[in-house]
């Protein structure tokens, strides 16, 4: 049980790091800004 919990935490950390790096790219920032503009009412 503890082993599975630790494995899940490691996977979650890796996924968060991956998404953070993807968002931090220039293209990712441009896409984020476009989405914010579209969702502004």
pLDDT of residue 4: 63
What is the pTM for the complete model shown? 0.37
Please tell me the distance from the alpha carbon of residue 18 to that of residue 25, in angstroms, as a whole number: 11
Q: Interhelix angle for 2-24 vs 26-38, to 10°?
A: 80
pLDDT of residue 29: 80
In a domain, 36, yes or no: no
In a domain, 22, yes or no: yes
Q: How many domains does the chain have?
A: 1
Q: Which domain holds residue 24?
A: 2-31
In a domain, 39, yes or no: no
Q: Which of 19, 23, 41 is nearest to 33 (CA)?
A: 23
pLDDT-derived band at 24, boundaries 50, 70, 90: confident
């Amino acid at each position: 049980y503890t082993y599975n919990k630790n494995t899940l935490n490691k996977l979650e950390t890796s996924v968060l790091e991956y998404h953070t790096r993807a968002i931090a790219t220039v293209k990712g920032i441009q896409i984020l800004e476009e989405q914010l503009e579209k969702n502004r009412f």
